[in-house]
Amino acid sequence: MTDISLPTLIQQMLLPGFYPHPVKEPIQLIQTHCSYVLLTGDFVYKLKKPVNFGFLNYSTLELRRNFCHEELRLNQRGAAELYLEVLAIAQTGEKYQLGGTGEAVEYALKMREFPDEGLFSTMFEAGTLSESHIEDLGRVVARYHGKTETNEYISSFGEIPQVRASIDQNYEQTINYIGAPQTQQQFDETKQYTDRFFAERQQLLRDRITNNFIRECHGDLHTRNICIWKEQILLFDCIEFNEPFRFVDVMCDVAFTVMDLEARQRQDLANIFLNTYVEQTGDWEGLQLLPLYMSRQAYVRAKVNSFYLMTPVFPSKSKQHQRRLQPHITPKLGNILNLPKGN
């Protein structure tokens, strides 16, 4: 039975006859705070919701079209095998048509569907994610970063005011969640830590620009965005909607993976990934930045979960389930890493 609370377009996309190819029934719909994702069997269709969170703005059709094309372009770097094309959706009367020739009323990103069992997050939960997988991931991410673009404009996002603004924006956008997903003490301690880091480690941050470590990175490199498909490790679903999230220190990418593994209580796997990556790149200096970026990435995850919980399109039952599964995880900063300070 179709959920009448969904937009009419999504209701039609849940029907097998909407597609010009065979589908696996029932078509599955996954919602995030900013996207509808429809799994049809061989292909996945992703549509962006008309939302504006400040750091992410899909509020107009032109913005959604642009960011669909950006998502296709940027994900060629880590998962070209999965990202196929952007399709316009036209409307005739009450009927929507995928790839129609009329005036576009929406856009969908078409991707190849892969088995859920290939996701690193699923493998982790099934107990099949091995140390060798994590070592291979360290090498893949090192090669990925080695090929990513950098230039004067991208490097400018490593300037201290820019880095600080991207972190402070997280605090500004979560003030209203104090007392619900997070406590006042968590908020204060996390902000005090980053304030102290920026006061004490300015030369380190400047050196990262000089040494070309500010690059066009993935921006969202956790285990739900990493998979094995046809014996290859693919890095997919990178950040396309926000330059300050993507034009970052390579260690910001690394920190998301390390944080995710540590949040899953597997510091051993986090260490294997980190050691392999640094052995491949020689970026020992970057380890001094890891606590800052692990704090940032944990806070980003908590922020997104807060948006999810407060989004009205999700029934209250789903929100309660999400709250139980993914509580606020801003870390106790003293437990992140006991790394020595650099010179």
- Mean pLDDT check: name the lowest of 126-135, 143-152, 179-188, 200-209: 179-188
- Could you tell me which of 52, 49, 44 has the C-alpha nearest to residue 7? 49
> Residue 296 pLDDT > 70, yes or no?
yes
When pLDDT is averaged across residues 279-304 and rounded to a whole number, the result is 93
Looking at per-residue pLDDT, the higher value among 180 and 224 belongs to 224
> Residue 74 pLDDT > 90, yes or no?
yes
Residue type, 225: N
Which residues, 6 or more positions from 330, have their beta carbon under 8 angstroms from its beta carbon?
182, 186, 190, 295, 298, 299, 302
> Residue 317 pLDDT > 50, yes or no?
no
Give, for 72, the enclosing helix (H) or strand (E).
Answer: helix 61-74
> Residue 138 pLDDT > 80, yes or no?
yes
What pLDDT is recorded for position 7?
96
**How far is the CA of 267 from the CAs of 51, 142, 263, in angstroms?**
36, 20, 8
| Residues of the chain above pLDDT 70, percent | 89
pLDDT band at 343 (very low <50, low <70, confident <90, very high): very low
Residue type, 262: E
> Residue 197 pLDDT > 80, yes or no?
yes
What pLDDT is recorded for position 104?
96
- Mean pLDDT check: name the lowest of 49-58, 210-219, 270-279: 49-58
What pLDDT is recorded for position 2?
55
> Residue 324 pLDDT > 50, yes or no?
no
When pLDDT is averaged across residues 75-98 and rounded to a whole number, the result is 96
pLDDT band at 331 (very low <50, low <70, confident <90, very high): very low
Domain chopping of the chain, boundaries: 8-113, 118-335
What pLDDT is recorded for position 210?
97
Given 2.60.220, 2.60.120, 3.90.1200, 3.40.50, which CATH number is that of 118-335? 3.90.1200
- At 90-123, the pLDDT tens digits run 999 999 999 978 899 999 999 999 999 999 999 9
State pTM to two decimals.
0.85
Rounded to whole angstroms, how far apart are CA atoms 331 and 343? 26
Rounded to whole angstroms, how far apart are CA atoms 210 and 198? 18
| Mean pLDDT computed over every residue of the chain | 89
Rounded to whole angstroms, how far apart are CA atoms 64 and 62? 5
Sign for the CA dihedral angle at 212, 217, 223, 228 comes to negative
Looking at per-residue pLDDT, the higher value among 313 and 92 belongs to 92
| CA 151 to chain CA mean position, Å | 23
- At 219-275, the pLDDT tens digits run 999 999 999 999 999 999 999 999 999 999 999 999 999 999 999 999 999 999 999
- For every residue of 135-180, DSSP letters joined together read HHHHHHHHHHHHHS---HHHHGGGSHHHHHHHHHHHHHTTGGGBTT
What pLDDT is recorded for position 3?
65
What pLDDT is recorded for position 312?
54
- Mean pLDDT check: name the lowest of 83-92, 145-154, 269-278, 294-303: 294-303
What pLDDT is recorded for position 5?
85
- Could you tell me which of 192, 188, 167, 191 has the C-alpha nearest to residue 179? 188
Q: Which residues pair with 29 in a beta bridge?
A: 38
> Residue 322 pLDDT > 60, yes or no?
no
Looking at per-residue pLDDT, the higher value among 316 and 68 belongs to 68
Burial class (CB in 10 A: 0-12, 13-18, 19+), 94: exposed
